[in-house]
Amino acid sequence: MTIKGKDVKTIVICILKRVSKKRLLLNALFLCGLLLVLLLIDQLTKNLIFKHEDFKTSAPPESLWINHGWIGFRPLLHQGVTSGLAKKFGFTVIHIFAFLLLFILIFSVLLSKNYYFAAFMIVLLAGNIGNELDRLLYENGVKDIIFIPYRDNGTFNFADIFIIAGPIGMVLVMGIEIGLPMLKKWYKQIKSKPKKQ
């Protein structure tokens, strides 16, 4: 079975008709605005706190560290992906996955009927784009800058935070969307039962 260009176009048009043009435009504006803000946070912190020359693949000297006690900053060029997927599958697979995720998330945000869910998809998208930009610019390296001084478990960046916060938020929104009506229904059933005397 092969899919022709006309078939894909028909499928896309059919899907786009499910969302009004106004909603599509609002979603696109929401996507562009929030994505721009999040990418600026990620990229500006990576590129303004330290000079590019400060980023090395080995641990930076403590003289470069900025330690505020509760949060710290140090430049580290992390080669790879924190999850270890790059070692198992290689960077080509990581790049393909990142670009697939990019298109899926953009399309999903545009068609979303829930702004909260869309917001968390955009958060995930910003993390994906932020780290993928680094991988493309720095030969598969990612600029990490943040560490927690009182519990030093490595160095990370805002894109990493977005990649974790996005799916957690999506699950929470889904849980509330599904769970709240169920709780209301359950509460009504309990309330409507006659009390035993």
Instruction: Determine the Cα angle at 40 with ends 22 and 119, to 5°.
Output: 40
pLDDT of residue 183: 86
Please state, in angstroms and rounded to a whole number, the distance separating the CA atoms of residues 90 and 71: 32
pLDDT of residue 87: 65
Cross-strand bridge partners of residue 141? 79
Q: Average pLDDT over the chain, rounded to whole?
A: 88
Domain extent for 27: 22-190
Q: What digits encode the pLDDT tens for the residues 108-152?
A: 999 999 999 999 999 999 999 999 999 999 988 999 999 998 887
Asked if residue 116 belongs to a domain, the reply is: yes
Model confidence at 12, pLDDT cuts 50, 70, 90, reads: confident
Asked if residue 196 belongs to a domain, the reply is: no
Asked if residue 166 belongs to a domain, the reply is: yes
- pLDDT of 39 higher than 60: yes
pLDDT of residue 46: 94
Q: What digits encode the pLDDT tens for the residues 48-70?
A: 999 988 988 888 888 889 988 89
Asked if residue 4 belongs to a domain, the reply is: no
State both tokens at 61.
């000297």
CA distance to 55, 110, 122, 146, 181, per residue, from 104 (Å): 32, 10, 11, 29, 28
Asked if residue 10 belongs to a domain, the reply is: no
Model confidence at 96, pLDDT cuts 50, 70, 90, reads: very high
Mean per-residue pLDDT, 88-105: 88
Asked if residue 1 belongs to a domain, the reply is: no
Asked if residue 124 belongs to a domain, the reply is: yes
Asked if residue 11 belongs to a domain, the reply is: no
Model confidence at 100, pLDDT cuts 50, 70, 90, reads: very high
- pLDDT of 1 higher than 60: no
Each as own residue / partner, the long-range contacts of residues 28-37 (CB below 8 Å, 24 or more positions apart, any chain) are 28/110, 30/109, 30/115, 30/118, 30/119, 30/122, 31/106, 31/109, 31/110, 31/118, 31/122, 34/119, 34/122, 34/123, 34/126, 35/122, 35/125, 35/126, 35/129
How many domains, in total, are found in the chain?
Answer: 1
